[in-house]
Amino acid sequence: MAMTTNDLKNGMTLEIDGDLLTVVEFQHVKPGKGGAFVRTTLRNVRTGSTVDRRFNAGERVERAFIEKREQQFLYRDGADYVVMDNETFEQSTVSAAAMGDAGNYLVEGSSVVLMKFGDEVIGTDLPASVELTIAETEPGVQGDRVSGARKPATLETGLVLQVPLFVGPGERIKVDTRTGEYLTRA
């Protein structure tokens, strides 16, 4: 879908020279001399690298159509993830690279929103927090309420994170999917 640089917004995905670039930041600049332009910071969706680019005001750019579909995670097949579409019930395999850090928060039966460009999975969209069970950690001791003291814990997905001393094995906790940090008991 063609649009002009005057219509840019943060988070939009553009297709420029065969690359998918997400607008991280943009600024319309109108200098005293010369024509107006748009200064942007773009992140490559596939590689994660950022680039600063300058467009003339009103220049036409191609907006990429990103389809978001809710999928249910079924199981792991080696390093890959097998998911099922919630509407069509079709199963597909997603590589670990395409899944990214989302694999650290997925347990069998949980939902994940896959972002697709054509048939290519370019990213995932998880809820802000998920509830996971602690598989292994030192047992919690009554009275361990020292503020700020932490210990390592391994979750059911294999992710290792720091939790407070009073949390024990088998407990369910909330984990922030954006930072990978312990939030609270569930």
Give the neighbor-by-neighbor strand order of the sheet with 2-4. 2-4, 60-63, 13-16, 19-29, 37-44, 50-56
Global confidence as pTM: 0.73
Q: Is the pLDDT of residue 147 over 70?
A: no
Structure tokens given for 173: 């906790």
Mean pLDDT across the stretch 24-36?
90
CATH 3.40.50.2300 is the classification of domain 2-63:
no
Between 133 and 46, the higher pLDDT residue: 133
Give the total residue count for the chain.
186
Mean pLDDT across the stretch 25-52?
90
Residue the block writes with tokens 């290792």:
160
Q: Is the pLDDT of residue 136 over 80?
A: yes
Q: Is the pLDDT of residue 143 over 80?
A: no
Give pLDDT tens digits for 52-110.
999 998 889 999 888 989 999 999 888 899 999 988 999 999 988 888 888 889 888 88
CATH topology of domain 67-125: OB fold (Dihydrolipoamide Acetyltransferase, E2P) (2.40.50)
Give pLDDT tens digits for 169-178.
899 999 998 8
The DSSP secondary structure of 97-156, one letter per residue, reads HHHGGGGGG--TT-EEEEEEETTEEEEEE--SEEEEEEEE-PPP-TT---TT-EEEEEET
Summary count for the chain: helices (H), strands (E): 1, 16
Residues 36, 147: Cα–Cα separation, whole Å: 53
Judge whether 67-125 and 129-185 match in fold.
yes
Residue the block writes with tokens 């097949």:
77
Superfamily of domain 129-185: Nucleic acid-binding proteins (2.40.50.140)
CB half-sphere exposure, 120, CA atoms < 13 A: 9
Nearest CA to 154 out of 126, 130, 174, 132 is that of 132
Task: Quote the mean pLDDT of the chain.
Answer: 88
Nearest CA to 117 out of 98, 134, 143, 90 is that of 98
Cβ-based neighbour number of residue 64 at 10 Å: 19
Q: Write down the domain spans for the chain.
A: 2-63, 67-125, 129-185
Q: Which residues contact 158 (CB under 8 A, 6 or more apart)?
A: 104
